[in-house]
Amino acid sequence: MNKKTQYSVAVAGATGAVGVEMVKVLEQRNFPVGALKLLASSRSVGKTIKFRGADIAVEELRHDSFQGVDIALFSAGASISREFRQSVVDAGAVMIDNSSAFRMEKDVPLVVPEVNPGDVAAHHGVIANPNCSTIITLVAVAPLHRAFGLKRMVASTYQAASGAGAKGMDELLVQTRQVLDEQPIAPSTFAHRIAFNLIPHIDVFQDNGYTKEELKMLNESRKMLHAEDLMVTCTCVRVPVVRAHSVSLNLEFAVPATPAMAREALASAPGVKLVDDPAAKRYPMPVDASGQGDVLVGRIRQDISRNDGRGLDLFISGDQVLKGAALNAVQIAEILVQ
């Protein structure tokens, strides 16, 4: 991308939960936006979103929307991203896509800036944002992989309603009131009632019994860590938390690693905040991670099921809407303009 002092930025899916957050992050991080174009479906045309004190009107997303645009942040769903990819690239813009549409394509970099920033340079007009749980997990795991060589990862996720967007968060809040008022509940966004419940089902089940969401953790981690032989197994669970995902991790390394060594590796890692003092009841929790750009990491302990010192357990929490989506996309854009 040609070096400029100001860039024309488009946000597609601007009225969704992640799109709104993208606009906020662009302002908070003082991204060099010369012009901002907010794009959404025809239903949202005429709505306004504030940016740097001004009300910017939402325009309809069209194939000619990207003339003069340098960077297009997409959070409108995989089908929309696929439909508009060529229009974005033909206009000379770079698409940073938050959907699953292009993540596993060989010529599309899949990037978490704290993990594999160098991969950005290999783009051909499209860069993919990883799945939210994978982003949060790898921010914590990548420094340990660099230090000790990750061989196997067992992940159990505790994914907030925010993973299903604004509709998911609204459904949790509405159902919570309905349960407390003893009113009937009719789930729509989730397969079952989410209020006061856990649902071990996110995305579509595959023939091997895993869901697509669980296989994303495997495939995306291998791609970003450049570790084709990495062994990963994952169970993804939707929990009645409004915002911020958490993950319980069991990690096996190529060499022995103590909790003290892990804390040292994590203490200086970008995007990580150590919250690891069980005696003082300090550990990662989604209520604390919400609204934070950092991933909280704690409950670091030796895996006592092993006798070789090569296993660690830890617990992490990260804001799915922020670091798991909007912030990561803007950080990729920052690498592009640097």
Catalytic annotation, residues: 132, 245
What is the Cα–Cα distance from 129 to 326, expressed in whole angstroms? 9
Tokens of 34: 């010369």
Three-state DSSP at 79 gives helix
Distance CA 181, CA 4 (A): 56
Residue pair 186/180 in contact (Cβ under 8 Å)? The answer is: no
Diameter of the chain measured on Cα atoms: 63
Nearest Cα residue to 272 out of 141, 110, 111, 128: 141
> Residue 47, SS3?
coil
Q: What whole-number distance in Å separates Cα of residue 115 and Cα of residue 142?
A: 6
DSSP 111: -
| Helices first, then strands: H and E counts in the chain | 8, 13
User: How many whole angstroms separate alpha carbon 324 and alpha carbon 157?
Assistant: 13
Phi, psi of 98 (to 5 degrees): -90, 0
Q: How far is CA 16 from CA 159, 166, 194, 285, in A?
A: 19, 7, 21, 25
- Closest to 127 measured CA to CA, from 62, 65, 72: 72
Task: Write the burial class of residue 180 (CB in 10 Å: 0-12 exposed, 13-18 middle, 19+ buried).
Answer: exposed
CB atoms within 10 A of CB 86: 12
Give just the sign of the alpha carbon dihedral 250, 255, 257, 263.
negative
Task: Provide, for the chain, the percentages of residues in helix, strand and coil under a 3-state DSSP scheme, each rounded to the nearest 5.
Answer: 35, 25, 40
